Amino acid sequence: MKIHYGTALAAIALVAVHILMRLTQGFAESLEYDSVIANYKFLPYAGMLEIILILLSIHGFNGLRVILLELKQGRRYEKAVSYGCVAAMIALIAYGSRTIIMVNTGMT
């Protein structure tokens, strides 16, 4: 459970940085295509987005796992929920990372 608290606190700090960065640019302008691509190409910022993605995925899927474990109990069910959530978390991180990798490898 410490990982749940830790990811939440870290995500709050990094998402705050992310929002502040958007606000300095102007919110609507920051969502334009060129701005988004530029962000992904700027590696320190892309790295921070990647860390946010990982933190929120861990936090979110662990939270979902806990909710599901509370709804029903049983050894097989609990194992299935835990492994299912880890698999879904890895899939989401991979899908999110794919965007950053595609931009930086010139695939867009």
**Binding interface with another protein (CB under 8 A):** 1-2, 4-5, 66, 69-71, 73, 78
Nearer to another protein, 53 or 65 (CB): 65
Burial class of residue 92 in the structure, from the number of CB atoms within 10 Å of its CB (0-12 exposed, 13-18 middle, 19+ buried)? middle
Nearer to another protein, 71 or 107 (CB): 71
Nearer to another protein, 2 or 76 (CB): 2
Closest CA to 89 of 57, 64, 53: 57
- DSSP annotation of 106: T
Q: What is the smallest separation between the CB atom of 55 and another protein, expressed in angstroms?
A: 18
